Amino acid sequence: MLTNTRHDWTKEEVLAIYNKPIMELLYDAATVHREYHNPNQVQVSTLLSIKTGGCPEDCGYCPQAARYHTDIEGNDLMSVSQVKAQALRAKSSGSSRVCMGAAWRNVKDGPEFDQVLEMVRTINKLDMEVCCTLGMITENQAHRLAEAGLYAYNHNLDSSEEYYKEVISTRGYQDRLDTIGNVRKTNVTVCSGGIIGMGENVEDRAGMLVALASLSPQPESTPINALVAVEGTPLEEQEPVSIWEMIRMVATTRIVMPQTQVRLSAGRTSMSREGQAMCFFAGANSIFAGDKLLTTPNPDVNEDMEMFKMLGLEPMKPFVKKAQPETVEEQYSKYKDQGEKPRWTRPDHKIERNEQAKEMAKAAKAN
């Protein structure tokens, strides 16, 4: 008998789960996992940065923010042919999904968005799931992506609404929820999760899960990222989270969002195979493969396939959870370019450590 998916979790209930004795937590999470998923299948995604660096946001964890001084080399939007070649390479390595990320605050109608739509059409025709993470999008833009054949849209909540204000000051939490709401007006699935290890407390982690679990329907995919502290960003001195924190977070996510694909995301390079195996046992059933996650290191895909073989895991085929979307060619599209250049909110508060990192970047560039 499947357990019911709840949308009314309280922070206190989630904290009680998170803080259970680890053996009890693992047992409960693994039991829920087996009710809804094949425990020996893991969905493998490849994350591709189609436009790197130069982002106007001040996200404290992100080396792609233009205001910080990092070693990230920016690049303009990739061509459709470049993206197709990368997608074919990913498919041959066992990936069933390509997630394309662009360092934009939000989507603006025009030639670049048209190019992304063509990338979506191209990859969907390769019989791969296509995901995009492009920042905030309007309802019409979401419909245009859906028509192109987009399978999933990623827009992370990052943390609890309360702690979010300690990490990002250039956009509001509600904008993230509104973007997810716009995606939900289409047939595109939602991918939304967050990052642990940014200095938040356990209550904030529970708060993020409450926000995600309260969405109806809950996200089809939830990435759980461990902060990769990058020199030059405001969070460069944060201590890495322990593997036990990741295991607890994965297990708690699995219990409160039983039908969701829980993705083991950033931070896997510092995890042992034993640690990752515990995460899979606790309910993680999706990973990012490839040598990079946008700009941060990631285990080599061959290493992952060796680990899968050792653990008896197999990559999930595409379109297992949801049928492949149809691609509507541009000339037959119902939703057209409306010239949208929306102005999303800009909160009026400042984050001291973000401002300090920005000043240090100015000084470094001046020298």
Give the catalytic positions in this structure.
55, 59, 62, 99, 131, 191, 263
What the block records as the tokens of 140 is: 């019409």
Contacts of 26-30 with CB under 8 Å at 24 or more apart are: 26/247, 26/251, 26/278, 26/281, 26/282, 28/251, 28/255, 29/250, 29/251, 29/252, 29/254, 29/255, 29/282, 29/283, 30/281, 30/282, 30/283
Question: Alpha helices of 283-341 — where are they, by DSSP H?
Answer: 301-311
Q: Which residues of 328-367 are buried (b: 16+ CB within 10 A; e: fewer)?
A: beeeeeebebeebeeebeebeeebebbeebbeebeeeeee
Q: CA 211 to CA 188: how far, in whole Å? A: 20
Q: CA 43 to CA 319: how far, in whole Å? A: 10
User: Tokens 């001046």 identify what position?
Assistant: 366
N- to C-terminal Cα separation, the chain: 65
8 Å CB contact between 197 and 226:
yes
Annotate 1-29 with three-state secondary structure.
CCCCCCCCCCHHHHHHHHCCCHHHHHHHH
Amino acid at 329: E
Handedness of CA 196, 242, 295, 315 (dihedral sign): negative
Q: List all residues 6 or more positions away from 81 whose beta carbon is below 8 Å from its beta carbon.
A: none
